[in-house]
Structure 1
Amino acid sequence: MGLSWQQGPLAAGSIGHFLTPEPLPERLLFAEPLRRRMRVQFNDAWIADSENVILFHEPGRYPVAYFPREDVAEQALVPSGKVTRHKDLGDTAWYAVHAGERTTERAAWEFTAPPVYAAELQGRIAFAWRAMDAFYEEDERILGHAADPYHRIDIRNTSRTLEVRLDDSVIARSEHPMVLFESGFAPRWYVPRADVDETKLSPVEGQTFCPYKGLCDYYDIGDASRAAWSYRNAYREVDRISDLVSFEPDQVEVYLDGTRLHLEPGQNVVPHGVDRGLDASEAKGR
C-alpha cells in the first residue's frame, strides 16, 4: 500500500517505473518527518509521545514510525541483548518494553550504527505494532500500521454497466456501480445490494481488516470460495461503499460494459508487514 507497499513506486512489484537515464538501486529506502504528533500506549501508560517522528518506508513493508529516544519514557525500554542485522541499515538492537507490572519481550528496536546516508534514524526507537496496546495521532487511534501519507482512496460514481455471472446465473447487474481507486491496486467495482441476487451469496466465517476501509465480510457463491466481499460498515472516510458488494474476477465472471475483467497482477493483498500481520481483532474495539 502507498509508497513502498504492494505496487507502490518503491515496491519490488511497482506498476510504474522512474524515468531516469541510469537504473535505480534495487532497493530504495525513504524516510521523512511525519509532521504529526504520535503517541504509544502500553499497559495504560503513555510510553512515547512525540511531534518529531520519522516515518520509514522500505520495499515490501508497511511504513514504520521511529521516535526520538528522548521522547520515549526512560524506564520503558529494557535492553534484551538480542542483536539482529538489517540488510541495509546494519545492527539492530532489541528491547523489552516495560510499564507497571507488565513486560513484553522484543517489543522495540533501534539501529545502533546506521550508515551515514541513514543518519536521521540514529538514536530513534520503533515499537512492534501488535506488542503495544495502541498508537495514536493526537487523540485518535491509528489501526493496522503507521498511516501512509501516500495511500489514497478515491470513489467515483459511474453509469457503466457491471454484470456478474457464474455459469448460467446472473449474480448481479447494475447500471450505477461505484468504482474504488486505491493506491497500489487496480480499480475495484462495488454494486448496491439492490442490484445483487443475495440468495446466491453465502456468508462465510472470518473477516479481514483494512486500516483504510475497515472490517470486511466475505461470501461464497456456489463453489466459488470468497468470491464476493463487503465492508458492511466502512469507515466514515469511505462510507460511500458501506454495505455495497464487490466481486473477485478470478472467481466469478465480471463484465464491465460487456468486457470481461480479469484479476490484474499484484492485485491480491499481502497481509504481512515488518513485524506483524493484519487481522480483524485489532479493529474490533475502534
Structure 2
Amino acid sequence: MGLSWQQGPLSAGAIGRFLTPQALPERLLFAERPRRRMRVKFNGTWIADSENVVLLHEPGRYPVAYFPREDVDAHALVAGGRTTHHKDLGDTTWYTVKNGERTTERAAWEFTALPRHAAELQGRIAFAWRAMDAFYEEDERILGHAADPYHRIDIRNTTRTLEVRLGDGVIACSERPVVLYESGFAPRWYVPRTDIDETRLHPVEGQTFCPYKGLCDYYDIDGAHRAAWSYRSAYAEVGRIDGMVSFEPDQVEVLLDGKRLELEPGQKVIAHGVDRGLDVDEVTK
C-alpha cells in the first residue's frame, strides 16, 4: 500500500522499476515532512502535537511519524534502559511512556546513532501505534497507521460484463460493476447486490479493517471459504462501493467479458504488524 508497502515502488514486491543505468540499493528509505499537523493522545491527554512531523517510509512497513522532541511532552518519556539496533538507521533507544497513573513500557523510540544521510530523523520521537490512545491529524482520528500520502483509491464505472460462477451455478452476473484501483493492489471488481444470488452468500465470523475503506465483512460460497467480501458501511470517500460485493478469483470463477480473471500479484492483502490491532468497537466509534 502506498509508497513502501504491498507493491509500492519502495517495497520488496514492487511491480515496476526505476529506469536507472545502475541498480538501486536493495533497500531504500524515504523521509519527508507531510505538512500535516499530527497529535498523539495517551491516557486521555495530548502528549505530542506538531506541524513539523517527519514521515518515514521503510520497505515492508506502513509509514511512521517522527515528532520533534520539543513538540513532545518531556514528562511523558522515561528512559527504559533498552537499546536495539536498526540495520539502516543505527542504535535505537526505547522509552517508557508515562502520563498520570498510566505507564507503558517500550511505547516510544528514538534513533540515537543516525548515519549522516539520515539527519532528518535526528532528535525525533516515534510512538508505538497500539500503545497510544489515538493518533490525530488536526481534530480527526487516524486509524490503523499513519496516513500514507501516496496511497490512492480510484473507482470507475464500467459497462463490461462481470460473471461469477461456482461449478455449474451462476453466483452473480452484472453489466454495471465498478472497478476499484488502489495503490499497491491489483484491480478489484465490485458487483451490486441486486445482480447477485445472495442466497449463495453465507456470512462468516471475523472482520478486517482497512484505514482507507472501513470494516470488511466476508462470505463463504458453498465450499469456497471467504470467497467474497463487502464493505457494508464504507467510508464516505469510497461510498460508491458501499454494500457492493467483490469476489476472490482463486476461490470462484470470475469472468470479465468472458475472460477468466486470475489471481494477480498484489491481489492478496498481506497481513502486517500490530498496528492493525483494532477491535470492532474502537473502529466504529
**Shorter-chain TM band:** over 0.9
* Identity between Structure 1 and Structure 2 (%): 77
| Contact 1:189–1:247 under 8 Å retained in 2 | yes
| Contact 1:89–1:111 under 8 Å retained in 2 | yes
Distance in 2, Cα, partners of 1:240 & 1:170 = 24
Q: Is 1:129 equivalent to 2:129 in the alignment?
A: yes
Q: TM-score, normalised by structure 2?
A: 0.98
CA displacement at 1:279 relative to structure 2? 4.4
| Contact 1:201–1:221 under 8 Å retained in 2 | yes
Instruction: Tell me: CA distance 1:53–1:239, structure 2 relative to 1, closer, same or farther (3 Å).
Output: same
Partner of 2:283: 284
CA displacement at 1:281 relative to structure 2? 3.6
Partner of 1:59: 59
- Aligned length, in residue pairs: 285
| Contact 1:33–1:55 under 8 Å retained in 2 | yes
Instruction: Tell me: CA distance 1:3–1:31, structure 2 relative to 1, closer, same or farther (3 Å).
Output: same
**Residue 207 of structure 1: SS of its match in structure 2?**
strand
CA displacement at 1:270 relative to structure 2? 1.4
Distance in 2, Cα, partners of 1:129 & 1:282 = 17
Partner of 2:153: 153
CA displacement at 1:278 relative to structure 2? 4.6
Distance in 2, Cα, partners of 1:173 & 1:185 = 24
| Contact 2:130–2:277 under 8 Å retained in 1 | no
CA displacement at 1:265 relative to structure 2? 1.7
Partner of 2:242: 242
Distance in 2, Cα, partners of 1:279 & 1:160 = 37
Distance in 2, Cα, partners of 1:266 & 1:194 = 28
CA displacement at 1:277 relative to structure 2? 3.6
Instruction: Tell me: CA distance 1:198–1:240, structure 2 relative to 1, closer, same or farther (3 Å).
Output: same
Can you give the 5+ residue segments of structure 1 that lack an aligned partner in the other structure? Answer: none
| Contact 1:215–1:283 under 8 Å retained in 2 | no
| Contact 1:129–1:145 under 8 Å retained in 2 | yes
Which aligned segments of 4 or more residues in structure 1 are displaced greater than 4 angstroms?
Answer: none
For residue 44 of structure 2, what is the amino acid of its counterpart? D
Name which of structure 1's ranges 90-99 and 260-269 shifts more when overlaid on structure 2.
Answer: 260-269
Partner of 2:46: 46
Partner of 2:251: 251
- Cα displacement string for residues 24-69 of structure 1 (whole angstroms, at most 9, x for unaligned residues): 0000000000200000000011000000000000100000000001
**Residue 238 of structure 1: SS of its match in structure 2?**
helix
Distance in 2, Cα, partners of 1:132 & 1:48 = 11
Q: TM-score, normalised by structure 1?
A: 0.98
Distance in 2, Cα, partners of 1:190 & 1:280 = 26
- Cα displacement string for residues 91-118 of structure 1 (whole angstroms, at most 9, x for unaligned residues): 0011111111100111000100110000
Partner of 2:220: 220
| Contact 2:54–2:67 under 8 Å retained in 1 | yes
| Contact 1:208–1:280 under 8 Å retained in 2 | no
| Contact 1:143–1:282 under 8 Å retained in 2 | no
| Contact 1:209–1:280 under 8 Å retained in 2 | no
Can you give the 5+ residue segments of structure 2 that lack an aligned partner in the other structure? Answer: none
For residue 223 of structure 1, what is the amino acid of its counterpart? G
